[in-house]
Amino acid sequence: MDVVIENQKLKPRLSPFYKIALFCFFFLTYSCEPKKIEIQPAFYHWQTNLSLSELEKKYLSDLSIQKIYPKFFDVDWDFNRQEATALATMSLSTNLPETLEIIPTVFITNRTLVEISTGQITNLAHKIAQKLQGQMTAFPDQAIKEIQFDCDWTQSTQAKYFDLLAIFNKTFNPLGIELSATIRLHQIKYAQKTGIPPVNRGMLMYYNMGEVQKRTTINSILDNAIGAKYLDKLAAYPLPLDVALPLFQWGVLFRQDKMIKLLNQLTAQDLSDDQRFTKIDKNHWEVIKSTYLNGVYLYKNDRIRLEKVETLALKTATALLQKQLKKADRSIVFYHLDSMVIQQFEIAELKEIIQQFERNTK
Amino acid sequence: MKEIRNDFRQLVTMGIGLSCFFILLALPTKISKGCGPYVDKTFYGYSFLNPNIIDLDAPKAPYFAGFEKIYKRLKPTEDIQQKDNLTEWNERFCQVAKLIDLQFIIYKASLTQMRRLKKLIGQKNSQLTGQLAGNTFARHLHRNKCEEAVDYLIFAKRCEPHVIAGSSWNPTQRDTVAMQFLIKDGLKEFKKTKSHYFKLRYAYQLIRLAHYKRDYVQTLALYDNLLPKTDNNPSLIEDWIEGHKAGALMGLGRNVEAAYLYSRIFQNTPSKRATAYQSFTIKSDEEWAACLRLCQTDEERATLYALRANDPNSLAVEDMEAIYHINPKNEHLEFLLVREIQKLEKDLLGADFNKNKKNNWRYHQIPRKQVGKSLLDLLKLVLLVGEENKVATPALWQIAEGYLELLGGDYYAAKNTLGHLKGGITDEILAEQLEALIMVANIDGLEKINPEMEDLIVSYERTTLFTKYPDFGKFVKDKLAYLYHEQGFEGKAFLEEHTLKELRYNPQLGLIEELIAICQKEKRSRLEDEMVLKSDGVTTIESDLWDLKGTYYLGQMQLESALEAYRQMPRKDRADYGLFNPFREMPIDCVNCRIIDTAGYNKTIILEQILELEYKAKADMEKAPAYYYQIGNALYNMTYFGYEWEVADYFRSGSSWYGLKSGEAVFATRGAPFGNHETVNCSLPLYYYDKAFRLSKNAELGARAAFMAAKCQQNQFFTSKGSDYSFYDNQIPYVTAEYRQYFNILKDYYTETAFYEEVVEECLYFERYAARN
């Protein structure tokens, strides 16, 4: 109240010049005040059945996760029918808390875009949109504010993919739903060639950055030395960016020096039987007796490179990203919510990563 | 005269204007960016195995080609299933109905139609109407009052909506309550039905319903309850039922039993083979051992090994050995043998001379690093089979032995093994396969090439085998190219790998001379004839080669050598290589501005005229500047920057602009084995413009010569290594002092000329340059 009286008193004494000066002072003072930047932690959910285990629920709760990105389905090319097909449709068998935001995610293989004709794009867009809308009815308690499309598009498939996204924009934006698209590191570095997708936000996927097929690769999931090379143009990227970080691990199977397949979520424990496997070095094992391992038949002399993400590497990644990212609100999304995956990390370790993002952006 | 001068002034003005406009505006937008290096990532190799040496229509044929390929060759699984089902119905009904009528009743007729049929069967003296009236199967059912059959079909049609998959975009939502009601109804029908054949079909419908509603316990219960109550002749329905049982077992986590059932379905049921293969899963060594224990016959055990070996990345010899020890006559063995040889073919056949070997390794990791071991492992098994002589088709294994020796590079042993088999094989297809492989061994085994060998190759090319096995063509070409390279016959090697047209991008003197020598040979080998004779079988490519040689020298601005080459060409052919007129004064750098209103000359005449102008210049000092200016124009117009660039080149790429500042004259271009050479060197025209300018007493001619010389220098600046001029952003070239001498001369000494005024007025960059200095 006193202040008001004082101001009233001041009023007649102020000349126009002082008024302007005062206005500028307050304006500048207000605009210079650092804006609080919000980091929203989240998880991808990549399983075909959305059913949360107790451990998964605990991670969501302890990390104050308020949104998840469940993959609703894949879109791949059916070479027999010569048409795009929906695969791995997610089913829901759990009740999600109302407060948990859902961001439906659709993975579209690049080969679908390679094979499909430009004339079929509109039809495909309608099919995807219809399927998405059908699946979204399974979440009556959640307000859907964003839909994400995941595709490792290239220069040659850019036009078709962007046409697809443009149609989704027309379909979903009027419903108040924003679109986001995943952005690979090479799409940041060579943005001029690969283009900027017509979406509201991008999700920088800071993983799968090494050449997994190469025998000499150390860790294709997360290698900050490689990642750093792609980040110099990050600040100039025109879309607001969220960041996806990896938590998963896998074994890369080599037979006669050729990469054969990935053994998902393989651990050192799986390779501990010295009657069948021998450890060559820190992350390489050799099969010494032909054997089955998690449903895959391995031959004597096969080699396995175990690739996992260390907490320290995640911290380094965070620091690298912080240096280059624009200061803005964003989500930090861990890939992915699966007991087998998350149990490799302490909740405190993940909290630290989130806090590291928060610290540096304030 | 004044009019002519005015016309000339007008032309020059227009020319300068266009020139500047071109440089400042059109050039960066007109020239496209480079196409970039083209990489063919598809695997390139050779195969000489005739797919028919094993029976591709045999049930296990997918082993040979892999399921992905076989799907394309065979009809979809649903079609096979439908065909098998119709065949069985037809047999059960003693083939009284046409297949198409059976198909209509079983797969297309509506529930209403079937209910009407049922009603009509129950009525005395009833007549079939509509589509049913003309249907032989419906008539049979009606005439013989086959109520059980019609009841079953009605029930099956009631089940149908609950078991269709729907599209992947809109999968069917199962109504499990309705399905359960149907199961109840079906059980009543099952009890009521007397025919064991229809009992079995009811059992199938019920088990399928339970499986589709994901009640796996009920599926197995129905199986255990209903099947013992059927006593029918063998039917494919039993195999279909087994598939649902296997699915239910898998759903309940009884993986071993499921895998065993799937292996049996794979073995016995063609229509379900692909899905059984995809569903067959073993998770651990313990499961594998348990699955083997479930097998009741050697055939079943062998099938398990075959299923495992069928993985595209398997090292199949291990499983082949197991199959061989179980049953040497097992049919899987031969499919696997052929598939393994095919893999080794990709790795080893022609590996030395495969022209795509770098990309094969880079994109496909072929040849496999330890392929030698794979070869030896398979050869060891093949030798064992040969010794024991227990297999179904010994000749196939004997041929395999010879071919493996060939793939291992032991040509002597291969020829020996294959040669010994000749005449001893009665099977026509295998005998032909043997012939083909002997031919492969003879070609692959060549160490040197000489006229006799060349004639031998031509004789091979004319055999029917050569065309029947499509890879012979590229195999021979690549092998010959390799040998020619080895022996230094680069011209012949080039023609094995490329067409003569591809040499035009960047003519190579050595190759051209070698090929000219072949054209001029009195006695050529038959292969050499194939190389140098045109389609009429008489004319050689010699004139083409002289033109290539002349063009090569023109591209190097070696005029005398070029003329010498052209003079070797018969006069009658000279006009075939283009008519041009490079002598026009054309200050416009417009590469597509062909002059069509003047007479054209062949290249020989152009060169003779240039040399004559030089002679005349030396003889007449007064007119020398004009002659030198003309020579300068002719030469400038033949360069990359001139409108008659085709005199000295066959192919000009706009994208080469972007590479000029590399200082190179050869640029990577798709389809150009030696790159694309551009005539970018302006030294010789500059030399003549300089002479014209220095000797000229006429200020206007001097100004023009100086301007053209300045353009030559500017081009030299563009093509100098490290030039910082960028064509991307319309910048006005800032020519460094080193390349600015003639601009300075023009500015310092010719400001009073009409030409200079026009230059300053029309040429923006010169105006700015003049203002800057």
State the best of A259, A297, A299 to mutate against chain B, taking most chain B CBs within 10 Å: A297
pLDDT for residue B369: 83
Out of B559, B577, B595, pick the residue that ends a domain: B577
B571 lies in the same domain as B691: no
Interchain CB contact of A215 with B (< 8 Å): no
Query: Does residue B232 lie within any of the structural domains?
Result: no
With beta carbons less than 8 A apart as the criterion, state whether A332 and A348 touch: no
B546 lies in the same domain as B615: no
- Helix B394-407 vs helix B428-444: crossing angle, to nearest 10: 10
pLDDT for residue A98: 81
B585 lies in the same domain as B571: no
B538 lies in the same domain as B676: no
Query: Does residue B164 lie within any of the structural domains?
Result: no
Of the pLDDT bands very low, low, confident and very high (cuts 50, 70, 90), residue A1 is very low
Tokens 């190389």 map to which residue? B531
B615 lies in the same domain as B632: yes
B600 lies in the same domain as B713: yes
pLDDT for residue B164: 85
* High-pLDDT (> 90) share of chain B, %: 68
The mean-pLDDT minimum among A11-15, A295-299, A304-308, B591-595 falls in A11-15
Reply yes or no on whether the pLDDT at A59 is more than 70.
yes
Reply yes or no on whether the pLDDT at B679 is more than 70.
yes
HEC letters along B186-201: HHHHHHHCCCHHHHHH
The mean-pLDDT minimum among A75-79, A165-169, B651-655 falls in B651-655
In chain A, the residue whose alpha carbon lies closest to the alpha carbon of B280 is: A295
Reply yes or no on whether the pLDDT at A10 is more than 60.
no
Cα–Cα distance measured from residue A177 to residue B34, given in angstroms and rounded to the nearest whole number: 41
State the best of B168, B275, B280, B378 to mutate against chain A, taking most chain A CBs within 10 Å: B168
CB contact under 8 A, A256 and B369: yes
The mean-pLDDT minimum among B210-224, B341-355, B390-404, B594-608 falls in B594-608
B541 lies in the same domain as B629: no
Query: Does residue B132 lie within any of the structural domains?
Result: no
Q: What are phi and psi of B220, to 5 degrees?
A: -70, -35
Cα–Cα distance measured from residue B198 to residue B220, given in angstroms and rounded to the nearest whole number: 20
B586 lies in the same domain as B548: no
B538 lies in the same domain as B571: yes
Q: Tell me: the pLDDT tens digits for B618-650?
A: 999 999 999 999 999 999 999 999 989 999 999
Here the ipTM equals: 0.83
Reply yes or no on whether the pLDDT at A92 is more than 60.
yes
CB contact under 8 A, A260 and B313: yes
pLDDT for residue B730: 53
Cα distance between the two ends of chain A? 33
Reply yes or no on whether the pLDDT at A41 is more than 90.
yes
Query: Does residue B752 lie within any of the structural domains?
Result: yes
Tokens 């039809």 map to which residue? A123
Q: Mean pLDDT score of chain B, rounded to an integer?
A: 87
Reply yes or no on whether the pLDDT at B34 is more than 50.
no
State the best of A81, A114, A258, A266 to mutate against chain B, taking most chain B CBs within 10 Å: A258
Of the pLDDT bands very low, low, confident and very high (cuts 50, 70, 90), residue B768 is low
Residue-range definition of the domain harbouring residue B570: 515-577
Query: Does residue B565 lie within any of the structural domains?
Result: yes
pLDDT for residue B655: 81
Reply yes or no on whether the pLDDT at B512 is more than 50.
yes
Of A127, A261, A292, the CB nearest to B288: A292
Reply yes or no on whether the pLDDT at A306 is more than 90.
yes
Q: Tell me: the pLDDT tens digits for B157-213?
A: 999 999 987 788 988 788 999 999 999 999 999 999 999 999 999 999 999 999 999
Out of B577, B604, B629, pick the residue that ends a domain: B577
Query: Does residue B188 lie within any of the structural domains?
Result: no
pLDDT for residue B751: 87
Of the pLDDT bands very low, low, confident and very high (cuts 50, 70, 90), residue B33 is very low
Of A85, A257, A301, the CB nearest to B368: A257
User: A213: which chain B residues are within 8 Å (Cβ-Cβ)?
Assistant: 365
With beta carbons less than 8 A apart as the criterion, state whether B396 and B340 touch: no
Reply yes or no on whether the pLDDT at A182 is more than 80.
yes
The H or E element containing residue B320 is: helix B317-326
Q: Tell me: the pLDDT tens digits for B72-127?
A: 344 445 677 888 899 999 988 878 889 999 999 999 999 999 999 999 998 988 89
pLDDT for residue A4: 34
HEC letters along chain A: CHHHHHHHHHHHHCCHHHHHHHHHHHHHHHHHCCCCCCEEEEEEECCCEECCCHHHHHHHHHCCCCEEEEEEEEEEEECCCCEEEEECCCEECCCCCCCCEECCEEEECHHHHHHCCHHHHHHHHHHHHHHHHHHHCCCCCCCCCEEEEECCCCCCCHHHHHHHHHHHHHHHHHHCCEEEEEECHHHHHCHHHHCCCCCCEEEEECCCCCCCCCCCCCCCCCCHHHHHHCCCCCCCCCCCEEEEEECCCEEEEEECCEEEEEEECCCHHHHCCCCCEEEEECCEEEECCCEEECCEEECCCCEEEEECCCHHHHHHHHHHHHHHCCCCCEEEEEECCCHHHHCCCCHHHHHHHHHHHHHHHC
Out of B531, B557, B577, pick the residue that ends a domain: B577
Total domain count, chain B: 2
pLDDT for residue B203: 97
Interchain CB contact of A292 with B (< 8 Å): yes
Centre a 10 Å sphere on the Cβ of residue B206 and count the other Cβ atoms it contains.
29
Query: Does residue B670 lie within any of the structural domains?
Result: yes
Of the pLDDT bands very low, low, confident and very high (cuts 50, 70, 90), residue B66 is low
Cα–Cα distance measured from residue A362 to residue B640, given in angstroms and rounded to the nearest whole number: 59
B557 lies in the same domain as B692: no
pLDDT for residue B78: 61
CB contact under 8 A, A260 and B318: no
B607 lies in the same domain as B729: yes
For the full predicted model, state whether its pTM sits above 0.80. Answer: no
B558 lies in the same domain as B594: no
- To the nearest whole Å, the CA of B672 is away from the closest chain A CA by 24
Of B168, B171, B283, the CB nearest to A292: B283
Query: Does residue B20 lie within any of the structural domains?
Result: yes
pLDDT for residue B331: 84
Higher pLDDT, B739 or A300: A300
Of A85, A256, A301, the CB nearest to B168: A85
pLDDT for residue B270: 77
The mean-pLDDT minimum among B7-11, B62-66, B76-80, B327-331 falls in B7-11
Return the number of CB contacts < 8 Å for A and B: 57
User: B68: which chain A residues are within 8 Å (Cβ-Cβ)?
Assistant: 79
pLDDT for residue B168: 87
Reply yes or no on whether the pLDDT at B62 is more than 70.
no
